[in-house]
Amino acid sequence: MHTAKITNFFMKKKYLLYFLFLAIFFLLYTFIISQIKSHIKLKENNFNYFLESDEFSNIKKYIFENLNSPYKEFNYIVQNNDTIEKILKKHNVADADINSIAASVVKKKLSNIFSKTKVKIIIKEESEVNKIVSLSYVINAITTVEIKRIKDGFDINEITLKLEKKEIVLSNTIKNNLYSSAVEVGIEPNIIVEFANMFGFEVDFQRDIRSGDKFEVYYETYIDEDSIVRNTGKIIYASMFVNNKELSLYNFKFDNVKGYYDVDGKSVIKTLMKTPINGARLSSSFGMRKHPILGYNKLHQGTDFAAPTGTPIMASGSGVILRAQKYKGYGNYVSIKHNSTYVTAYGHMSKYGRGIKKGVRVNQGRIIGYVGSTGMSTGPHLHYEVLKNGKRINSQRMKLPSGKILSNEARNKFEVDRIKIDVKLAELR
Ligand SMILES: [Zn+2]
């Protein structure tokens, strides 16, 4: 009984609390409403005052005049598949202007526009159609095209940022992998890719690299007035200290043939690459293994490289495409005949490289397709085979003939160039 009384008391108190909350809420509500009302009134007063002021009549005049202005400016963002012609048509520009501008930019090779870049258009409205006053758009990192109407036609100008060539030397010690250690010291991604390609014949980036290995790269950059790198040029020299030995490569051009050579004047390029793909992991080597789909032991007659779908696959050597189509369990498949001895083959591609078809001649490094998982495959990877006289061999163990060694006149010129590069290197380090 006693407990019931207490509960009752608390129940009563609870209602009292509810009431109190309601009262406070109501008071707050009326207060806020009255504040808002007075605020609106104040604003109205201000606005009336503003309308009567000289300032407003000036603004009114300005807006009115501009609304009537025949000149209009647009900042158009380029969409996929846009052309200068299409963009001007979208803005209802007179056909005569479109034809004249389109023909001139094509002739001057200034018609390449890229999606997501901006086109600034100023037009003048004239009896239902628009006439171009001026037009400007960006065609690359350093060039803007400016088109202005002149008396009879259009004046087309190419405005290029003034860039200065600056050679730099960057080096680092590898902690995790080459890419992150190169990014750490500010090397541009395209230079890193080229660097990796240069050493791709000698260094297996998956297995040879140890923490503590070193690299150095000497290359050209192009900087603007604010010292910002706008573009990169060629790699002049690069070296890697890996597997306890140093390999230095020099950029050398002779008789219009350029390449990278070691200190002895030996070309770095070999007939075939061991790894025709960048950034892949060797996931299954040549030899006996339990087949992941068939389930029984079978000789794996190639090398598998695991990589994300879409990773480019390169021709591991120059040659002629023998086949570029679906082939048995290989899925989308490409094979290349390099010479009378060697053929390489690539399986499970998601798609083929541009222009890759039977009979086409390809150079080493050309993108022939992209990693996928077509055919008999459990996940995205490249299945790579090297056939020597028709017999599949272990690509990772093959001893291939090295590139040529410079001799005579070429060798003499190389020695001179190499010393010059060494001197510059010592200066820039
Ligand atoms: Zn395989």
CA distance 89 to 378: 49
Instruction: Report the DSSP beta bridge partners of residue 191.
Output: none
Task: Compute, in angstroms, the gap from residue 368 CA to the centroid of ligand 1.
Answer: 18
**Arithmetic mean of pLDDT, 129-151:** 90
Cα 338 to ligand 1 centre (Å): 21
Three-state DSSP class for residue 238: strand
- Distance (angstroms) between ligand 1 centre and the Cα of 364 equals 22
Q: For residue range 340-393, what is the model confidence (pLDDT) as tens digits?
A: 788 999 999 999 999 999 999 898 889 999 999 999 999 999 999 999 999 999
Q: Is the pLDDT of residue 17 over 80?
A: no
CB-count exposure of residue 394 (10 Å: 0-12, 13-18, 19+): middle
Predicted model pTM: 0.52
> What three-state secondary structure class fits 16?
helix
Residue 141: its pLDDT value, please?
Answer: 77
- The residues with which 76 forms a beta bridge, in sequence order, are 119
- Residue 311 has φ and ψ, to the nearest 5°, of -65, 130
pLDDT for res 43: 53
Pair 353, 344: CB distance under 8 Å: no
Q: Is the pLDDT of residue 339 over 60?
A: yes
User: How confident is residue 282, by pLDDT bands cut at 50, 70 and 90?
Assistant: confident
pLDDT of residue 200: 74
CA of 138 to the centre of ligand 1 (A): 45
Torsion sign, CA atoms 34, 40, 46, 51: negative
Cβ-based neighbours of 128, under 8 Å, separated by 6 or more: none
Residue 271 CA, ligand 1 centroid: distance in Å: 22
| Joined tokens for residue 182 | 């190169």
Apex CA 132: angle with CA 129 and CA 133, to 5°?
130
Whether the pLDDT of residue 419 is over 90: the answer is: yes
Residue range 146-156: mean pLDDT, rounded = 92
**3: Cα separation from own chain's centroid:** 76
Q: Give distance in angstroms: CA of 304 to centre of ligand 1.
A: 5
The rounded Å distance from CA 264 to ligand 1 centre is 37
Buried b (16+ CB within 10 A) or exposed e, 64-81: eeeeeeeeeeeebebeee
* Predicted local distance difference test score (pLDDT) of residue 62: 54
Find the range with the poorest average confidence among 129-133, 183-187, 202-206, 319-323. Answer: 202-206
Number of residues written out for the chain: 429
- Give the distance (Å) from ligand 1 centre to CA of residue 340: 24
**What pLDDT is stored for residue 383 in this prediction?**
96
Between residues 47 and 171, the one the model is more confident about = 171
CB 160 within 8 A of CB 130: no
Higher-pLDDT residue of 286 and 173 is 173
How far apart, in Å, are the Cα atoms of 206 and each of 72, 110, 196, 333?
Answer: 58, 43, 12, 25
Q: How high does pLDDT run on average in the chain?
A: 85
Q: Which segment of 109-113, 286-290, 353-357 scores lowest on mean pLDDT?
A: 286-290
Report the pLDDT value the prediction gives residue 42, as an integer from 0 to 100: 53
- The secondary structure element, H or E, covering residue 381 is strand 381-388
CA 276 / ligand 1 centre spacing (Å): 14
Measured in Å, residue 384 CA sits from the centre of ligand 1 at 7
389-418 pLDDT tens trace: 999 999 888 776 667 789 999 999 999 999
Distance from residue 383's CA to the centre of ligand 1 (Å): 4
pLDDT digits (tens, 9 = 90+) for 40-85: 555 555 555 545 555 555 555 555 455 567 788 889 999 988 999 9
What's the rounded mean pLDDT across residues 143-156?
Answer: 91
- pLDDT of residue 1 exceeding 50, the answer is no
Alpha-carbon distance 87 to 23, whole Å? 64
Question: Which residues fall within 8 angstroms of residue 413, CB to CB, at 6 or more apart?
Answer: 252, 254
- Distance from the alpha carbon of residue 292 to the mean position of ligand 1, in angstroms: 10
**For position 252, what pLDDT does the model report?**
96
